Structure 1
Amino acid sequence: MPASDLLKEKISHLPHRPGIYKFFDENGIIYVGKAVDIRKRVSSYFNKSTQHNKKTRHLIASIRNIEFTIVDTEADAFLLENNLIKQYQPKYNILLKDGKTYPYICIINERFPRVISTRNKIADGSRYFGPYASVTSMNVLLDLIRALYPLRTCTYNLSSENILSGKFKVCLEYHIGNCKGPCENLYDEESYNQHIIQIRNILSGNLSVAKNYFKDKMSAAAADFQFELAHSFKQKLDLLDSFQAKSTVVSNTLTNIDVFSITSNEKCAFLNYLKVVNGSIIQTQSLEIQKKLEETDEEILASVIVQLRHEFESDSREILVNIEVQLPLPNITVTVPQIGDKRKLLDLSLKNAMYLRKEKESSREKSKDSNEVRIMETMKKDLKLTELPRHIECFDNSNFQGDNPVASMVCFKNAKPSKKDYRHFHIKTVVGPDDFASMYEIVTRRYRRLLDEAAPLPQLIIIDGGKGQLGMAVKALKDLDLWGKIPVIGIAKRLEEIFYPGDNLPLYIDKKSETLRLIQRIRNEAHRFAITFHRSRRDAGTLKTEITDIKGLGAATAEKLLLKYKSVKKIKELNFEELEKEVGKHKAQILQNYFSGQKA
């Protein structure tokens, strides 16, 4: 049984139940999806295949097997899909960076705990805060903690037995005042642990506990006339105030909130996440997601919310978003605020997402521009031009056994097609299939018009043809007094040879050269444009009827009507207003009189 029939058979047995489905190719899982109704969702890929984009069609063509898992609710399907995507990382699912690569601040589970940064979470009872998307932000926090509290940095096992036995000696950190020497029992465990409690509050976004502690200590020292000690506490309080001032305080009325915003273009989505605790933003992350299939903003945002909340270990019950999104998670409120502090917070998040989008798109545009300049510089060198060929024009003729001779000119600017500058030419002065004379005519007409209009001239002209066509183009430029002012080359189709005027030997450019590839692309575009125009002319010729012989109408008008309406019958069905719109009042009257005379 063919693979397609096997898939159809398998789809027909899929359940009408919520769950997840997995698509496989020959090598393994390539896509994981969720569905309220598994059979309906999977069938939609195959029933509407012509409506999908290229990437989705490629996915469908790659499917060799389908598996599914039934769950009780849509929320269960949502979470299971997320877990399976993280586990298998299928090529057609959008993926986020693994949170394990982000650093944490860890309060180690030991006597006289150390506070360190780490990228590895170990289930040993230690307390982890983060992860931190910005290492700089994490280091600012660590520097604050070390400036406020005299914590140890050594790795000694400070058990009571080891300390009382005099096993350790204080180090340099003690002598410079960074540590109070718990290794020699010079600092009591209760005071040390009070500092650890305050550090936990600071890392959780609550600075009030530490601030109140230092205020009380400062007041007590001042009351006891220990002004130097009071001043040291005042300095620590100032550090906390300075840190809080630099933090983004949204509102004292807001508690724990997650904020997500999204904006996107055709290929990518740009998101921002703000984690708000006790009215302050303690975490922020902006990221770019490459679209894999036809994901909507709602689908991408829902997936990212689940993944980022997991990565940043958020337990917030309120989520703010800038678009409506279905998030089937229990005890979670998802809203799109319209006014107030929450709206301001959402606007701040969206501003960050928009900034990332602008930055990425600008970067890609600069990269693209740089690539185009490199190609033009290569062409300038290969063709020995005196300036960058930013404006290139290419000419091609087309006729069929001498009938309907036409020509085309395509224009490339900065190595890209400039389609608004493309031109078609009806050959007017040449009788029969004479490509050489036709080339002379169209080159003459093109550049005489540019001269008359004082329009910019190209930096390079390409003639699709050999020495004969090139020679006639040169003659046209000489007659217009443009010879020597615009470089012109010819490209012969058979061996892709480049000819220069007056040079008997062709220039052979490396087949892999960007110069030759661009010349070929321009030549092929000119050929396509000419052929398309020629076919339309030829098709119009086959529609010749009595309408082309109406006195006072003209061949061009008849051709225009026949090309659009395909038959005289349909033209006869047009009322006067419709005819006037197509050909003008005078000719509409001629046509109406002609058709009325036929009826009489």
Structure 2
Amino acid sequence: MTKEENEKRLAYLKGIVSNLPDSPGCYQYLDDTGTIIYVGKAKNLKRRVSSYFRPEVDRFKTKVLVSKIRDLKYIVVNTEEDALLLENNLIKKHNPKYNVLLKDGKTYPSICITNEYLPRIFKTRNINRKWGTFFGPYSNVSSMYAVLELIKKLHHPRTCRIPMTKEGIQKGKYEVCLEYHIKNCYAPCVGKQSYEDYQNNINEAKEILKGNTREIQKMLFDKMQKLSEELKFEEAETIKRKYILVEQYCAKSEVVSHILHNIDVFSITNDEKIAFINYLHVSNGSINQAFTFEYKKKLNETEEELLSLGIIEMRERYKSTSREIIVPFEMDLQLENVIFTVPQRGDKKTLLDLSLMNGKQYKFDRLKQTEKLNPEQKSVRLMKEIQEALKLPKIPYQIECFDNSNISGTDAVAACVVFKKMKPSKKDYRKYNIKTVSGPDDYASMKEVVRRRYTRLIEEGKPLPDLIITDGGKGQMDVVREVIKDELNLEIPIAGLAKNDKHRTNELLYGFPPMVIGLKMNSELFHFLTQIQDEVHRFAITFHRDKRSKHALKSAIDDIKGIGPKTKELLLSELKTVSNIQSTDLQTLTNIIGAAKAKIVFEYFKDKP
């Protein structure tokens, strides 16, 4: 599009905007094909729509949207609530490209009660209102199975898929199946359970699915009392068993306060691309509905915009008539006969905190599920967490960690492990024999190894790490910094993992002078850092142990003149240890390495204590 064409387009759109009314309503943006690409709502159409065409609009995604607009339509309504409802319906109908996308549909299962003569109750992901009544969708699948299990134990609805009719039952077309014999069904198909009783059970199941478990519990209790008064103890016992089942199910609900009734609770947890909106419904002091939904963001929508959309969507979906809605912040939203509350303390604040906790947990669970399918995503997330925690200039793609190992200064060694994309790169691991230090001097040993490591990387032109981690506290960090910064003039961030009195890692240090970084010890990032520390410690200890073993073997066998490496390897292969070689008789040695060499070995050890 040329500059002149763009100016003509904007002039046309601004001409429409200038004539918009100052009334509540919905606006629709259309592209060059006449397709609706965005639907919005406003308390004041003129003020809201004109904000898109101001020069100071700084949000990139909004600028992209505006560049696609070729025409706009609007619908005037009476109230802001009507605008919200209309916006919700238009988004569902047209699914505009730049609107928030509610990620549900087939993502979550629902429960269906069919419209058949003898209705069935089952879970499904296919929603067809012609089949029957649907409840859900259930974002928490375990809660859906819990309520299905309760209904199964309470009411025993049929599970067979045979299309049953009243005439078919009267003519005896059907036969009882295994479900009847194992007492999972009362066989209404052959008249063993009356149609009225079956329908009554289905109606009770609907009330449970609506969350009205307290009403069912009260009804069962009253019925049990009445049967007891009429001396119908067997029937009363049957009702009692049902009452106990409902009571046990209700006991799993979060009870806040019995004075709270018919309240909706909403909270929002944000991500870069997705918002997670949690909805709780409280009735008679208990939470009887809990759902979390994902909204895929398109235009950097504010939390208030997203939460407003979620409130309208979920209240309409779950037919909520609550007169009070608890929210985490003040909202410029008005609904008829509804009060918005932002609690600061008490039972309502407990409910809001619970909603926030559920939203965060759902976000965490979805993240874990995604990372299982795409491990690279977890690596990138952890690298970003390290970058943010340490305020690093770039993502730490390559991390290196050092450790020393010696016993009283003997056989001193050091090791370097390398992690790339948060995974061990074992081909880049390096072992070092300490050459310039005598005695147990960890600081001097660390300086030698770090100097050798990075001098060589510079000479060979290989990439330097984005972060160095020392297995130690401030002292180790200081000597590494002396080499990296003062000697080699390198700008590589240096962190340290310090241990407490019980020799357990409890602090992450960073900076100069080193400062403690606030990181929870049970966090995933802290576990990863200790994993690096454990890995370098394992690698250094293994190298040190191997060196000591070789040293021990050398003093015992390698000094025997006339015995070469192959003969030594053969002896160790057969006899396993030096002590076994020393105590073996001449004939056995002869069978292994021949008479001449056997005599040399035997004579050598004969004089040894």
> Normalising TM by the smaller chain, what interval?
0.5 to 0.7
Distance in structure 2 (CA, Å) of the matches to 1:8 and 1:31: 20
Query: In structure 2, what residue type is equivalent to 1:9?
Result: Y
Q: Does 1:40 align with 2:47?
A: yes
SS of the residue corresponding to residue 344 of structure 1 reads helix
Tell me if structure 2 keeps the 8 A contact 1:263–1:354: yes
The answer for the alignment partner of 2:12 in structure 1 is: 9
Distance in structure 1 (CA, Å) of the matches to 2:340 and 2:86: 20
Deviations 1:182-217 (A, max 9, x none): 222222223323323322332222334543555566
Shift of 1:96: 0.8
The answer for the alignment partner of 2:96 in structure 1 is: 90
Give the counterpart of 1:367 among 366, 380, 400: 380
Tell me if structure 2 keeps the 8 A contact 1:198–1:209: no
CA RMSD of aligned residues (A): 4.4
Distance change (3 Å), C-alpha of 1:192 and 1:9: closer
Distance in structure 1 (CA, Å) of the matches to 2:90 and 2:367: 31
Distance change (3 Å), C-alpha of 1:127 and 1:268: closer
Distance in structure 1 (CA, Å) of the matches to 2:347 and 2:325: 14
Shift of 1:243: 0.9
1:463-482 to structure 2, matched below 5 A, reads: none
Distance in structure 2 (CA, Å) of the matches to 1:276 and 1:366: 40
Deviations 1:17-45 (A, max 9, x none): 33332233345333222233434333322
Tell me if structure 2 keeps the 8 A contact 1:133–1:283: no
Q: Does 1:146 align with 2:152?
A: yes
SS of the residue corresponding to residue 257 of structure 2 reads coil
Give the counterpart of 1:306 among 312, 316, 333: 312
Distance change (3 Å), C-alpha of 1:230 and 1:4: same
Q: Does 1:71 align with 2:107?
A: no
Query: In structure 2, what residue type is equivalent to 1:80?
Result: L
Shift of 1:111: 3.1
Distance change (3 Å), C-alpha of 1:100 and 1:228: same
Give the counterpart of 2:486 among 431, 447, 450: 450
Deviations 1:43-75 (A, max 9, x none): 32222x344122222222333333333334433
Distance in structure 2 (CA, Å) of the matches to 1:379 and 1:283: 40
Shift of 1:361: 7.9
Tell me if structure 2 keeps the 8 A contact 1:100–1:119: yes
Give the counterpart of 1:169 among 171, 175, 178: 175
Distance in structure 2 (CA, Å) of the matches to 1:378 and 1:254: 50
Distance in structure 2 (CA, Å) of the matches to 1:358 and 1:120: 27
Shift of 1:9: 2.8
Give the counterpart of 1:205 among 191, 203, 211: 211
Distance change (3 Å), C-alpha of 1:451 and 1:100: closer
The answer for the alignment partner of 1:326 in structure 2 is: 332
Tell me if structure 1 keeps the 8 A contact 2:104–2:293: no
Distance change (3 Å), C-alpha of 1:34 and 1:250: same
1:4-403 to structure 2, matched below 5 A, reads: 4-13=7-16, 14-18=19-23, 19-27=25-33, 28-47=35-54, 49-99=55-105, 102-124=108-130, 126-156=132-162, 158-212=164-218, 214-215=220-221, 233-264=239-270, 268-356=274-362, 366-369=379-382, 373=397, 377=420
TM-score (norm 1): 0.58
1:415-454 to structure 2, matched below 5 A, reads: 450-451=486-487
Distance in structure 2 (CA, Å) of the matches to 1:86 and 1:204: 24
Tell me if structure 1 keeps the 8 A contact 2:397–2:466: no
Query: In structure 1, what residue type is equivalent to 2:43?
Result: V
Distance change (3 Å), C-alpha of 1:35 and 1:221: closer
SS of the residue corresponding to residue 2 of structure 1 reads helix
Distance in structure 1 (CA, Å) of the matches to 2:304 and 2:71: 28
Deviations 1:306-355 (A, max 9, x none): 12223334333321111111224323322223343222211211222344
Distance change (3 Å), C-alpha of 1:373 and 1:218: same
TM-score (norm 2): 0.58
Tell me if structure 1 keeps the 8 A contact 2:114–2:120: yes
Distance change (3 Å), C-alpha of 1:65 and 1:387: farther
The answer for the alignment partner of 2:560 in structure 1 is: none
Distance in structure 1 (CA, Å) of the matches to 2:118 and 2:209: 18
Distance in structure 2 (CA, Å) of the matches to 1:412 and 1:352: 39
Deviations 1:551-582 (A, max 9, x none): xxxxxxxxxxxxxxxxxxxxxxxxxxxxxxxx
SS of the residue corresponding to residue 100 of structure 2 reads coil
The answer for the alignment partner of 2:437 in structure 1 is: none
Distance in structure 1 (CA, Å) of the matches to 2:116 and 2:308: 39
SS of the residue corresponding to residue 96 of structure 1 reads strand
Distance change (3 Å), C-alpha of 1:174 and 1:69: same
Distance in structure 2 (CA, Å) of the matches to 1:190 and 1:100: 34
Query: In structure 2, what residue type is equivalent to 1:42?
Result: V
The answer for the alignment partner of 2:466 in structure 1 is: 413
Deviations 1:513-563 (A, max 9, x none): xxxxxxxxxxxxxxxxxxxxxxxxxxxxxxxxxxxxxxxxxxxxxxxxxxx
Shifted more, 16-25 versus 142-151: the winner is 16-25
Shifted more, 280-289 versus 239-248: the winner is 280-289
Q: Across the two proteins, how many residue pairs are aligned to each other?
A: 415
Distance in structure 1 (CA, Å) of the matches to 2:145 and 2:78: 45
Deviations 1:111-162 (A, max 9, x none): 3333233344444594433332223211211111111223323344544432
Distance in structure 1 (CA, Å) of the matches to 2:106 and 2:364: 28
Tell me if structure 1 keeps the 8 A contact 2:260–2:285: yes
SS of the residue corresponding to residue 333 of structure 2 reads coil
Query: In structure 2, what residue type is equivalent to 1:33?
Result: G
Distance change (3 Å), C-alpha of 1:319 and 1:100: farther
Tell me if structure 2 keeps the 8 A contact 1:11–1:39: no
Tell me if structure 1 keeps the 8 A contact 2:101–2:297: no
SS of the residue corresponding to residue 102 of structure 2 reads coil
The answer for the alignment partner of 2:388 in structure 1 is: none
Distance in structure 2 (CA, Å) of the matches to 1:156 and 1:90: 42
Tell me if structure 2 keeps the 8 A contact 1:205–1:278: no
The answer for the alignment partner of 2:500 in structure 1 is: none
Deviations 1:435-475 (A, max 9, x none): xxxxxxxxxx99695249999899xxxxxxxxxxxxxxxxx
Identical-pair percentage = 42
Distance change (3 Å), C-alpha of 1:133 and 1:454: closer
Distance in structure 2 (CA, Å) of the matches to 1:157 and 1:448: 79
Query: In structure 2, what residue type is equivalent to 1:97?
Result: K
1:465-544 to structure 2, matched below 5 A, reads: none
Distance in structure 2 (CA, Å) of the matches to 1:209 and 1:140: 19
SS of the residue corresponding to residue 131 of structure 1 reads coil
Distance in structure 1 (CA, Å) of the matches to 2:246 and 2:361: 30
Unaligned stretches of 5+ in structure 2? 372-376, 384-394, 400-418, 432-449, 469-480, 495-609
Distance change (3 Å), C-alpha of 1:11 and 1:155: same
SS of the residue corresponding to residue 137 of structure 2 reads coil
Distance in structure 2 (CA, Å) of the matches to 1:354 and 1:379: 24
